Each structure stands twice: as C-alpha cells, then as structure tokens.
Structure 1
Amino acid sequence: MTQTTKNTVYGQLIEPTVLKMQRMLPGSVERVWSYLTEGELRSQWLASGDMELRPGTEFEFVWRNDELTNPPGKRPEGMSAENRMVCKVLEVDAPRRLFITWGVQSDVLFELAPQGDDTLLTITHRRPPTRDVLLSVSAGWHAHVDVLEAKLEGATPRPHWDNWVQLRSDYDQRFPA
C-alpha cells in the first residue's frame, strides 16, 4: 500500500529492488490509458514517442523534462535537456495493463483500475540496477505522475525539476541505504 504524508503519495519498496507507486487520478480508465499510450498526450507528462501496442515491438521514449512545466524549475547538474531510451512492449491488456522493458536492465508494469469516476494507477518498476537509479526513478515516477495528475485536473503543475530534486531527497531518506 502507498503512504500519504502532507497529501503526498509516496511509492514504496515492496521488495529490495521493486518500487510500487499508486495514485488515484481523475477520469476514466480510457482517458488515463490514452495519456499512457498516445505519444502526444504522454509527452505532456512523461516522454514522447510512438508506441505500437503489440507485444515484442520496440519503441523509443524521448524525455524533454524542461518542457513539462512552466517554469520547469532548475535542472539538476548532470541532467540533460533531452534523454532517450529504447523500450519494448512485453504485454498489453488495453485499457487496463501495459508491461514494458525499461531500457535493458529493468521493466515497468502499469495497471489501471476504475474507482467510480476515477482511476487507480499502479506503477511497478522492477530491478533498477543501483540505489542511485532506484532513487532517480522513484523521484521521477512521483514527479511525472504529479504532472499527469495536474494535467488531468486542469491544474498547473509545480515546476518539474524543483519537485524532482525534493522528491529524490525524500526517497533517499525513506529507502534504506
């Protein structure tokens, strides 16, 4: 189960290298699914890139995090204006489940479940290769889903990079060294 502190929903380690994050999002499963799978909508909160929803197909995520919020916040040293990663679709059960590789070392499962007029999004990220990567993806998923939630609500999200930096520090404190 996820924890909530000061209205912030944190992901949890359900195994030493498995992050599970849940967030209740406004709107139908179909609406949230479109923000997950359609490149133009996904680019508004995570990364662009065309994705063919067929197991075995590869696709490329392209992150331009400076474009997610206005202002974007201060980009941390060592972070690029653009990042790319090739992933592969492993499993699709539209509009409820999408399982993909995350580069070559880990994988991510997205699950959507209707909750009245809203949707419970569950993200399970398995096998980040190091603690540093675990902290980065934990803060990353959290910050990106914050942007998605704001977009779905028609609200203005907090500056992405400032949020990510704070969340990375939070996860560093929450997760054992």
Structure 2
Amino acid sequence: MDTKTKPDAYGELIEPTTLRLQRLLPGPIERIWAYLTDSELRRKWLASGAMEMKVGAPFELSWRNDELNDPPSKRPEGFPEEHRMQSRITELDPLRKLTIVWNNSGDVTFELEPAGAGVLLTVTHRRLPDRAMMLKVGAGWHMHLDILVARASGKEPPLFWDGWARLQQDYDRRLPA
C-alpha cells in the first residue's frame, strides 16, 4: 500500500480463515505501541489486561464494551457486560509486531509501520473457526479500530454496539458465504 493511500476501513479475507484490517493512526509509533500493550490505554479501545512483554507470557484480556462510550449504546441480547479470555504472547518485536493466541478463535497479529507522520496498523486475525465467528469478529475489530483511531486522534469515538450491529450486516454481505 502506498503511504498516501488511506486503507479501506473494512476487513478483507486474505485466506479462507484469515481476516486483515488496517488503520492509519497519528504517530509517533511509540504512542500507538502503547495503545496495544498498556492495559489502561488498551482498555479505552479494546480490552484491559496487563501483559508481561515476553514471548510465552500468559495474560487475561477483559472486554467491557459498554465502557467504550459515555453514555454506552444498547448492548445486544445475549452479550454479557464483561467477557474474559486467556491469552498468550507468541511473537514480539517491540514497536513493530505483537502476536497473541486468541483463546478458541485463532491468533491475532498487530503490525506497526511508519507512514509519513502517521503509523499504519495492520491487524491480522488467523484461524477463525467459522463464518458466524468471522462476522462477529470482523464487525468487532472494525468498531474497536474505529474507536482506537478516534481516541488516538483526540476525537469522540463512535458508539460501539450500534456500529457493531450495523457492521455485522455489512460483513455478511461483503464476506463470501
């Protein structure tokens, strides 16, 4: 991708069970790395959970999506107020790459690269178990990354649950059946 080109907000299947999303964020790269690795900063756009920055280190992620907006949007039926997941760091190249095992739904790689005054973040979620999970994960990553862009840019983030519900329908139309 040319650094002048803004990445498409929608994720794309790059393999049958692998979804990739990209966002251009304001730099510097150290600041965006902190949004990935610091529990308090990560909580503001994704999930909290202290990480020991070492390959093999286990940690727990805790999602509280209702807290991403004030006031929160309405949580869909069947979703708990909090979701916890055991994870483990499997690859680490500080300021460039972080890969974690994502419990029973594959693994996720975050890659950062300079893009002019900004930072290109690429999120690759591999080994998604089925299409239903792919639709939820696609919409979830899309919204979480939109919130990260807003937070990193000092703007009010979009409503998580409202966007997630709409995007799940979009991903259903965009991703092959």
Report TM bin, short chain.
Answer: over 0.9
Give the number of equivalent residue pairs.
172
Q: Does 1:72 align with 2:72?
A: yes
**Match of residue 160 from structure 1:** 160
AA of the residue aligned to 1:53:
M
106 and 145 in structure 1: CA distance in 2 versus 1, 3 angstrom threshold: same
Q: Which amino acid aligns with 1:121?
A: L
Residues 66 and 75, structure 2, Cα contact 8 Å, conserved in 1: yes
1: CA distance between counterparts of 2:105 and 2:156?
A: 34
Q: Is the 8 A contact 1:86 1:103 kept in 2?
A: yes
- Tell me the distance in 2 between the aligned counterparts of 1:155 and 1:95: 24
TM-score (norm 1): 0.94
**Partners of 2:104 and 2:173 in 1: how far apart?**
27
2-side partners of 1:23 and 1:137: how far apart? 16
Q: CA 1:159–1:105 in 2, change beyond 3 Å: closer, same or farther?
A: closer
In structure 2, relative to structure 1, the CA distance for the partners of 1:93 and 1:50 (3 Å cut) is same
Structure 2 residue aligned with 1:29: 29
SS of alignment partner, residue 19 of structure 2? strand
How many angstroms does 1:8 deviate by?
6.3
Deviates more, 1:103-112 or 1:12-21: 103-112
Cα deviation, 1:60-79, whole Å, max 9, x if unaligned, reads 00000000012221111111
TM-score, length basis structure 2? 0.94
Question: Distance in 2 between the 1:28 and 1:58 partners?
Answer: 28
Give the structure 1 partner of residue 121 of structure 2: 121
1:119-158 equivalence runs, <5 A = 119-158=119-158
Matches within 5 A, 1:45-64: 45-64=45-64
Structure 1 segments (4+ residues) deviating >3 Å: none
Runs of 5+ consecutive residues of structure 1 not aligned to the other structure: 2-6
SS in 2 for 1:10: coil
Q: 1 CA distance for matches of 2:173 and 2:105?
A: 24
Letter in 2 for 1:24: L
Larger strand proportion of the pair: 1
Secondary structure class of the residue paired with 1:9: coil
* Structure 1 residue 107: Cα displacement: 0.3
Contact 1:135 1:172 in 2 (8 A): yes
For residues 7-49 of structure 1, the C-alpha deviation after alignment (integer angstroms, 9 at most, x for no partner) is 9610100111000111101121111000000001000000000
Q: CA RMSD in A?
A: 1.3
Q: What is the identity percentage for the equivalent residue pairs of Structure 1 and Structure 2?
A: 54
